[in-house]
Chain A
Amino acid sequence: EAGVAQSPRYKIIEKRQSVAFWCNPISGHATLYWYQQILGQGPKLLIQFQNNGVVDDSQLPKDRFSAERLKGVDSTLKIQPAKLEDSAVYLCASSPGQGSSPLHFGNGTRLTVT
């Protein structure tokens, strides 16, 4: 089966600019996650969708970050305006959404804010 697809792989922007990341989950997976992984740290959940509804966005900085999952399939994560501390790898993951099913991760988008 095809894995979780993310684009772009790398992005360099200046602070105060905006950026968007795209994710296409594994076909049929109801649950989609966006994680932020800062260098040297473990991934931190930003937002979790079940189909096209938000399950958890408690750690999403809503003043600058937004995410949507229209039609319950692919998703976009946007940052506007970016700050230096947003430099990280942004990981998308999906799961069938049943019980403790494992998450399948994409290769991530590495964002550098200068």
Chain B
Amino acid sequence: GDSVTQMEGPVTLSEEAFLTINCTYTATGYPSLFWYVQYPGEGLQLLLKATKADDKGSNKGFEATYRKETTSFHLEKGSVQVSDSAVYFCALSGGYNKLIFGAGTRLAVHP
């Protein structure tokens, strides 16, 4: 069945460092891909999405490109801030707009 694999955390960075969180997927057909973020004490929020191959989703300085050839959707940010500390989830949409999530990657950014 469809599945998502993302790098294990926690990822610990200093402020202004470059961030990459790897995400790969297995799916039949051509799913849409998403990154969701969960800040401490808050619910899951959509960070960005891409609906077809080579699309780039971007929001709040974060970017991810839908790579069909490598079945990947890696999340990147050029300069992280303390306020980016959160848990990040990669997800794909299966049939009927059902989201399948990865296990999540915790990011901790220190001043």
Contacts and interface: CB of A to CB of B under 8 A. Distances in A.
Contact of B49 (A50, A102, A104): A102
Interface in B1-15: 4
A84 B90 CA distance: 28
B109 interface: no
B36 to A, nearest CB: 8
B89 A42 contact: yes
Interface in B32-47: 32, 34, 36, 42-46
A100 B49 contact: yes
A106 interface: yes
Given A41-B104, A100-B97, 19 more contacts: A3-B43, A33-B98, A40-B103, A41-B103, A42-B4, A42-B102, A45-B99, A48-B96, A50-B96, A56-B98, A97-B97, A99-B97, A102-B46, A102-B49, A103-B97, A104-B46, A105-B44, A106-B43, A107-B43
Interface size class of A (residues with CB under 8 A): 20 to 34
Chain B residues touching A, majority SS: strand
Interface of B: 4, 32, 34, 36, 42-46, 49, 51, 89, 91, 93, 96-104
Interface of A: 3-4, 31, 33, 40-45, 48, 50, 55-56, 91, 93, 95, 97, 99-108
Contacts of A105: 36, 43-45
A107 B40 CA distance: 11
B45 A100 contact: no
A102 B34 contact: yes
Contact of B43 (A33, A41, A91): A91
A60 to B, nearest CB: 13
